[in-house]
Amino acid sequence: MRVHTLKRAVVALALALPGAAIASVVAAPAAHADACYTWNRTLSQGRSGSDVRELQLRVAGWAGNRDIVELDGQYGPKTAAAVRRFQSAYGIRADGIAGPQTFAKLYQIQDGDCTPRHFSWNEMDDGCGRGGWTGGPLTTAQTRQNALRTMWKLEALRKGLGDQPLIVTSGYRSRTCNSQVGGASNSQHLYGNAADLISRDKSLCDIARAARNHGFSGIIGPGVSGHNTHVHVDSRRENNRDGSPNNTYWAAPSCGIPAGYR
């Protein structure tokens, strides 16, 4: 049982107790939702810190069309806008302020290992079978951090598609794996920044079009050679180590998304 579920039960029991007891329970600090992370203050524009960065990581998929949310720990207009989109998608008052309701929803959709509910570390470490997050250009910690951000963007994309399941057919790849599958020498898969997607319920074009609104600066899909059976999404604008242009590149001509930098 998650701790926040237990907390709800404790608070419910306290409602039957005398007023002083009720106050002592309700005023207690927020309980941990799981083993990953707990916010201890309301966040809004002008705030900064590691707790803002943790929030940015989880709302990166709500950046909006052609935009990204930098994980810089600064609660600026783009972070506030992403929080509003997240709140609206989950039926929370959309004020751009991250408070108890927003955090409660994040706890609800977050597993104890920090991954979002519908995606897992094993699923993302599957370019050529489990690679253990080694054999790429980054440290294991850096690669996993990128993959975690990718998963949170995928969770937002999944929600934007009406909570329809997405299947990751290729996630992180080591250099050896990337060579085996014929990947580009500077493939975003090497950095944990990318995922190749299919769906049983949505068309590839549905995925490619929706991805434009969920923080992906790289989208390659139907109409591009080698991408007619899946949609590739990545976070290339947030990767300054691969030597590629620090721009948004989308290409899915069969879906009405012409190839080009934006």
With 0-12 / 13-18 / 19 or more C-beta atoms within 10 angstroms meaning exposed / middle / buried, residue 212 is buried
Distance separating alpha carbons of residues 194 and 217, to the nearest angstrom: 10
Whether 227 sits among the annotated catalytic residues: the reply is yes
Tokens found for residue 28: 């207690």
Report how far apart, in Å, the C-alpha atoms of 59 and of each of 21, 70, 105 are. 36, 10, 12
Check 4, 189, 214, 227 and give the catalytic one: 227
Give dist(CA 211, CA 79) in Å, integer: 18
CB atoms under 10 Å from CB of 156, counted, come to 27
Q: Which amino acid is at 3?
A: V
The catalytic site residues sit at 227
